[in-house]
Amino acid sequence: MVYRAFFDAVFRSMDPEKAHERGFAAIRAGRFATRLALPQTYAPRTVMGLEFPNAFGLAAGFDKNARAVPGLLALGFGHVEIGTVTARAQPGNPRPRLFRLVEDRAIINRMGFNNEGAAEVASRLHRLRRTKAGRDAVIGVNIGKTKVTPPEDAVADYVESARLLTPYASYLVVNVSSPNTPGLRDLQAVDELRPLLAAVKDVADRNPSGRVPLLVKIAPDLADADVDAVADLAVELGLDGISATNTTIARPESLRTDRATIEAAGAGGLSGPVLAERSTEVLVRLRARVGDRLALISVGGVTTPDDVRARMAAGADLVQGYTGFIYEGPRWPSRLAAAVV
Residue 1: band (very low, low, confident or very high) from pLDDT cuts 50, 70, 90: low
CB 110 within 8 A of CB 269: yes
| Mean of per-residue pLDDT scores for the chain | 94
pLDDT at 116: 98
List the one residue out of 78, 74, 25, 26 whose CA is nearest residue 52: 78
DSSP per position, 150-170: -GGGHHHHHHHHHHHHGGG-S
176-194 pLDDT per residue, tens: 999 989 899 999 999 999 9
Residue 41: band (very low, low, confident or very high) from pLDDT cuts 50, 70, 90: confident
Residue 30: band (very low, low, confident or very high) from pLDDT cuts 50, 70, 90: confident
Active site residues: 178
pLDDT at 4: 62
Q: Give me the helices (H) in the chain, please.
A: 2-9, 16-28, 31-36, 69-74, 118-129, 132-136, 154-165, 190-205, 224-237, 259-265, 276-290, 305-313, 323-328, 332-337
The residues with which 139 forms a beta bridge, in sequence order, are: 80
The CATH number covering residue 234 comes to: 3.20.20.70
Mean pLDDT calculated for residue range 112-141: 97
145 pLDDT above the threshold of 90:
yes
54 annotated to bind ligand = no
% of the chain exceeding 70 in pLDDT: 94
Helix, strand, coil in percent for the chain, rounding step 5: 45, 15, 40
Residue 12: band (very low, low, confident or very high) from pLDDT cuts 50, 70, 90: low
8 pLDDT above the threshold of 80:
no
CB atoms under 10 Å from CB of 89, counted, come to: 16
194-207 pLDDT per residue, tens: 999 999 999 999 99
The count of C-alpha atoms lying within 13 angstroms of the C-alpha of 327, restricted to the half-sphere facing its C-beta, is 20
Longest Cα separation, the chain: 53
According to DSSP, residue 221 is labeled T
Mean pLDDT calculated for residue range 60-69: 98
| Helix 224-237 × helix 190-205 angle, to 10° | 30
194: Cβ contacts below 8 Å, ≥ 6 apart = 233, 237
Look at the chain and report how many structural domains it folds into: 1
The residues with which 44 forms a beta bridge, in sequence order, are: none
Question: Bigger pLDDT: 243 or 31?
Answer: 243
pLDDT at 172: 98
327 pLDDT above the threshold of 90:
yes
Residue 9: band (very low, low, confident or very high) from pLDDT cuts 50, 70, 90: very low
248 annotated to bind ligand = no
42 pLDDT above the threshold of 90:
yes
Residue 299 domain boundaries: 1-338
110 annotated to bind ligand = yes
207 annotated to bind ligand = no
113 annotated to bind ligand = yes
CB 230 within 8 A of CB 219: no
224 annotated to bind ligand = no
Mean pLDDT calculated for residue range 74-85: 97
